[in-house]
Chains A and B, each alone.
Chain A
Amino acid sequence: MFSRVRFRRLATPLLVAGALAVLHIPDVRAARVSGRITGVVHLVAPGGMPLRSGAYPSRRVNPKTPEAPEIGNVVVFVKDAPTEQELTATRASITQRDESFVPRVIAITRGSSVEFPNFDPYFHNVFSLSRALTFDLGRFRKGEKRERVFPRAGVVKVYCHIHSEMAATIMVFDHRLYATPVSSGSFAIDGVPPGTYQLSAWHERIGETTKPIKVVAGEDASVEFSLPVVEK
């Protein structure tokens, strides 16, 4: 049953991707005259009651480096982008430092690999229970690193068995139409075929915020996100 579910999960996007690929072959050529999505992501205080500070007392015991700005944990991507068959595999890195994964959120293309070097003077572990990829890289000491290839698209959450507060998110895409905002919040996605898309801004705490966007060849489509995320 597990394999059937797995097969169905995989089969649907593959069929869709295949159909899109067949239908949009002229568009691939037209990609050379593709458009661009630019925009800015604002992090604002949530509209509701702010969470009481200290409602859940922190159980953090080790001093840590200051948190990276939350804007670094945002990924903007075209939700209904067509699957690309040939993607260049890249190599990303999430370091383990001060009992944290740094950076906490990265976005990669399918087939890329992520390495996990340990910079802490104690053991770390990397494991995942996500359906896109379930793995456990075991424990390793300072100076060592583990590496893992992500062959399927999806959200993969990785954790450390030893330190329960450590978590990171790896977003694996079937395409290249995603971007990570810079510290000012602005981002740009190049090479977007003209058309109407759903553009999503994802943050680890609030999930996706989706907006429709129309891309015209040779032009910049501008968009602005306001995400209810507070800095810690």
Chain B
Amino acid sequence: MATRTPPRFVIRTLVATLATVAFVLSAVLLVVTLNVQKSVRDGVGDRLETARRLLDALEERRAHELHAQVAMLAENPTLKAAVDTYHTELRTTNQAGRLDLLATISRELDKLATRIQPDVLEVRSASGEVLGIAGRRAGEWPAFARVNAPPQDAEGSWVTTDSRIFRLASEPVVLQGTPLGTLSLASALDDRYASEISGLSGVQALILSKHHVVGSTLPSEVLMALKPDVVGAMATQDVITLAGSDYAVRPLMNQGGAQVFVLDSIDASARPVMAGARRTIGWIALGAFILAALASVWLSRTIARPIDTLSASLANMTQTRNFENPLTPGGDVLEVDALTITFNTMIQSVKAAEEERLSAYVGTIRALALALDARDPYTAGHSERVSALSLAIGRCLWLDDTQLEVLRLGALLHDIGKIGISDHVLMKPGPLTGEEYEIIKQHPVVGARILRSVPFLEPHIPIVELHHERPDGKGYPHGLRGTEIPLVASIVHVADAFDAITSARAYRPARAASEGLRELWRCAGAQFDAEVVHALAKALPDLDRSTASAESMPRFFPVPVAVRAVRA
């Protein structure tokens, strides 16, 4: 099964924050889009409503002005004279005379029309007979087809045909209180009028006559989409769909088949607003993503860096087994600091346990050595003394703490191999036979074998195995020479010999230190390492000064006088 390497913490924080930011921004964009659409719809509606009110007022004014204009024209003396003369003389003339009189009226109408350029200017008698007509759109005027007189509406009225809508203002022609007829001024509601409305209001305009388009400012493709059902909907609905886009629409006028609408495309109005909103949100998104990325990197670093430091320190500690330096809390994150402190506490207890283990181990070794020494009253305290001597020599040789520790314990155990030697050989009062001596010479190897079974005693094996090797190669068990022998082994060799010389034996009394030292000097270089002997010589005065302590008490035990060659 392949184990997957988990992603770094910063990746997780980046993914989480960026996903959150993206989600929030998407929601904001959605809400903004909906809001913009709604407010644009409302705004277009308001604009249309404003345009409608404005144009209503304008229409009223326009109707009023048209009426004022026709009222003015109805007072034209020549026109009145022509109409009045027509009426006066109609009774006394024939058809030719009538046409003559009508020509006079037409001439006067034409003169007026030339001056004011109306769409239609018409005068008819009180009985409804058309007397004359003039104007640019006189040809489209449906008056000749109509029987009834135009409505006498002071506010203005409307004349509607399939292709045309006219706004109409009529005024009676009165002479001295007698009505002579009616003068009508009409202006067409066409494309020009639509573009005028559009120009004033800023929105589109549409003019329908009996559901036919007679004037508009809409593009032709939109007009193509203007089906009868859409036209029907326009009168009742606020929003209609034309050629795929929504239009807000308001009726401006709806009278007798004539309909005027103002309308505006919602989509066209929303487009610039939406573009602006998207641009703004885009910038905000960019900023938010950058900030979120920076923040998540920073946050993950506050968590990950102390943890990295912590785990690196722990790895280092585990590797070097150096638990002396406690970890320093980073001070950035409370939880990480708590973790660091807990680690330190744990390390402390681990360290305590380690020390306890070490002291137990040292105690065991010491017990072994003591048990060994206790077999022979002459060697009682020997291992302790050799250990102390070796330490003193080691210090003179500037050995480091680790080597001194190895030396101390190794010296304590150096004769552990003698466990395997039977008492009658070991404590034989007389001289040893060659065979017995060979048995004695086996003790370093036996000791080394014993130590090999205990893993943590491994550093001390060389001392136990090699503490009888001599620089001249005549030592045992391997006959190593000079620098082949480890220094610690040489030290223990010298210390062992010195202690043996200065201790009493069954066959001889104890000799003085100076004598022992002389003896050692004599054999230095061949039997003993000269450098070590020199160090012993340096170390001895210090050692003597400190031997008042209980540690060196065995030296003053009562020693039986016996002479015996010590080759231990």
Chain A residues in the interface with B (C-beta under 8 A): 5, 9, 56, 58-59, 104, 127-131, 154-155, 157, 159-165, 167, 169, 204-205, 207-208, 232
Nearest residue, chain A, Cβ from B177: A232
What's the least CB distance linking B330 to chain A, in Å?
A: 101
Report whether A161 and B96 are in contact in the complex, using a CB–CB cutoff of 8 Å.
no
Q: Shortest 3 CB-CB distances between A and B: which pairs?
A: A164-B77, A159-B81, A129-B85
In the bound assembly, the distance between CA atoms of A128 and B81 in angstroms comes to: 8
Interface string of B34-77 (1 = CB under 8 A from A): 00000000000000000000000000000000000001000111
Report whether B174 and A56 are in contact in the complex, using a CB–CB cutoff of 8 Å.
yes
In the bound assembly, the distance between CA atoms of A150 and B429 in angstroms comes to: 199
Report whether B84 and A131 are in contact in the complex, using a CB–CB cutoff of 8 Å.
no
Does residue B422 face the partner (Cβ distance < 8 Å to A)?
no
Interchain Cβ contacts under 8 Å between A and B, 9 examples: A9-B97, A56-B174, A128-B85, A129-B85, A130-B88, A131-B89, A154-B92, A157-B85, A163-B77
Instruction: Choose among A59, A128, A160 the residue that contacts B75 (Cβ–Cβ < 8 A).
Output: A59
In the bound assembly, the distance between CA atoms of A59 and B174 in angstroms comes to: 9
In the bound assembly, the distance between CA atoms of A9 and B82 in angstroms comes to: 20
Does residue B319 face the partner (Cβ distance < 8 Å to A)?
no
- Chain A residues closer than 8 Å to B363, beta-carbon distance: none
Q: A5-B100, A165-B176 are in contact. Are A155 and B88 (CB under 8 A)?
A: yes
Instruction: Choose among B71, B76, B84 the residue that contacts A167 (Cβ–Cβ < 8 A).
Output: B84
- Chain A residues closer than 8 Å to B97, beta-carbon distance: 5, 9, 131
Most buried by B among A129, A154, A157, A159: A129
In the bound assembly, the distance between CA atoms of A162 and B89 in angstroms comes to: 23
Most buried by B among A9, A58, A159: A159
- Chain B residues closer than 8 Å to A164, beta-carbon distance: 75-77, 80, 175
- Chain B residues closer than 8 Å to A127, beta-carbon distance: 81
What's the least CB distance linking B77 to chain A, in Å?
A: 4
In the bound assembly, the distance between CA atoms of A73 and B174 in angstroms comes to: 18
Instruction: Choose among B76, B88, B177 the residue that contacts A157 (Cβ–Cβ < 8 A).
Output: B88
In the bound assembly, the distance between CA atoms of A151 and B89 in angstroms comes to: 18
Does residue B148 face the partner (Cβ distance < 8 Å to A)?
no
In the bound assembly, the distance between CA atoms of A157 and B172 in angstroms comes to: 20
In the bound assembly, the distance between CA atoms of A59 and B178 in angstroms comes to: 12
What's the least CB distance linking A162 to chain B, in Å?
A: 7
Q: Which of B90-109 contact A (CB under 8 A)?
A: 91-93, 96-97, 100-101, 104
Does residue B78 face the partner (Cβ distance < 8 Å to A)?
yes
In the bound assembly, the distance between CA atoms of A155 and B101 in angstroms comes to: 14
Does residue B486 face the partner (Cβ distance < 8 Å to A)?
no
- Chain B residues closer than 8 Å to A104, beta-carbon distance: 176
Instruction: Choose among A56, A131, A160, A207 the residue that contacts B177 (Cβ–Cβ < 8 A).
Output: A56
Nearest residue, chain B, Cβ from A104: B176
Nearest residue, chain A, Cβ from B101: A131
Most buried by A among B84, B93, B100, B104: B84
In the bound assembly, the distance between CA atoms of A204 and B89 in angstroms comes to: 11
Instruction: Choose among A9, A59, A162, A169 the residue that contacts B88 (Cβ–Cβ < 8 A).
Output: A169
Does residue B276 face the partner (Cβ distance < 8 Å to A)?
no
Report whether B82 and A129 are in contact in the complex, using a CB–CB cutoff of 8 Å.
yes
Nearest residue, chain A, Cβ from B87: A207
Does residue B420 face the partner (Cβ distance < 8 Å to A)?
no
Q: Which of B299-348 contact A (CB under 8 A)?
A: none
- Chain A residues closer than 8 Å to B71, beta-carbon distance: 59
Report whether B176 and A167 are in contact in the complex, using a CB–CB cutoff of 8 Å.
yes
In the bound assembly, the distance between CA atoms of A167 and B75 in angstroms comes to: 13
Does residue B179 face the partner (Cβ distance < 8 Å to A)?
yes
- Chain B residues closer than 8 Å to A161, beta-carbon distance: 77-78
In the bound assembly, the distance between CA atoms of A232 and B101 in angstroms comes to: 29
Q: A155-B88, A207-B91 are in contact. Are A129 and B104 (CB under 8 A)?
A: yes
- Chain B residues closer than 8 Å to A160, beta-carbon distance: 77
- Chain B residues closer than 8 Å to A9, beta-carbon distance: 97
What's the least CB distance linking B76 to chain A, in Å?
A: 7
- Chain A residues closer than 8 Å to B176, beta-carbon distance: 104, 165, 167
- Chain A residues closer than 8 Å to B75, beta-carbon distance: 59, 164
What's the least CB distance linking A111 to chain B, in Å?
A: 20
Nearest residue, chain B, Cβ from A169: B88
Beyond known contacts A56-B174, A155-B88, A167-B176: 6 more, CB 8 A cutoff: A5-B100, A127-B81, A128-B81, A129-B85, A131-B100, A131-B101
Instruction: Choose among A56, A155, A163, A205 the residue that contacts B89 (Cβ–Cβ < 8 A).
Output: A155
- Chain B residues closer than 8 Å to A129, beta-carbon distance: 78, 81-82, 85, 104
What's the least CB distance linking A38 to chain B, in Å?
A: 26
Instruction: Choose among B89, B174, B175 the residue that contacts A130 (Cβ–Cβ < 8 A).
Output: B89
Report whether B77 and A205 are in contact in the complex, using a CB–CB cutoff of 8 Å.
no
In the bound assembly, the distance between CA atoms of A160 and B81 in angstroms comes to: 9
In the bound assembly, the distance between CA atoms of A104 and B179 in angstroms comes to: 17
Most buried by A among B100, B101, B176: B176
Report whether B178 and A205 are in contact in the complex, using a CB–CB cutoff of 8 Å.
yes
Nearest residue, chain A, Cβ from B81: A159
Nearest residue, chain B, Cβ from A1: B96
Report whether B77 and A162 are in contact in the complex, using a CB–CB cutoff of 8 Å.
yes
What's the least CB distance linking B168 to chain A, in Å?
A: 18
In the bound assembly, the distance between CA atoms of A157 and B77 in angstroms comes to: 13
- Chain A residues closer than 8 Å to B92, beta-carbon distance: 154-155
Instruction: Choose among B85, B96, B104, B174 the residue that contacts A5 (Cβ–Cβ < 8 A).
Output: B96
Instruction: Choose among A56, A155, A162 the residue that contacts B172 (Cβ–Cβ < 8 A).
Output: A56
- Chain B residues closer than 8 Å to A204, beta-carbon distance: 88
- Chain A residues closer than 8 Å to B174, beta-carbon distance: 56, 59
- Chain A residues closer than 8 Å to B78, beta-carbon distance: 129, 161
Q: A56-B174, A59-B174 are in contact. Are A208 and B84 (CB under 8 A)?
A: no
- Chain B residues closer than 8 Å to A163, beta-carbon distance: 77
Interface string of B207-248 (1 = CB under 8 A from A): 000000000000000000000000000000000000000000
Most buried by A among B101, B178, B179: B178
Q: A157-B88, A165-B176 are in contact. Are A131 and B93 (CB under 8 A)?
A: yes
Nearest residue, chain B, Cβ from A125: B77
What's the least CB distance linking B521 to chain A, in Å?
A: 161
- Chain B residues closer than 8 Å to A128, beta-carbon distance: 81, 85
Nearest residue, chain A, Cβ from B83: A129
Q: A56-B179, A58-B177 are in contact. Are A208 and B81 (CB under 8 A)?
A: no
Interface string of B8-45 (1 = CB under 8 A from A): 00000000000000000000000000000000000000
Report whether A208 and B100 are in contact in the complex, using a CB–CB cutoff of 8 Å.
no
- Chain A residues closer than 8 Å to B93, beta-carbon distance: 131
In the bound assembly, the distance between CA atoms of A208 and B91 in angstroms comes to: 9
- Chain A residues closer than 8 Å to B81, beta-carbon distance: 127-129, 157, 159, 167
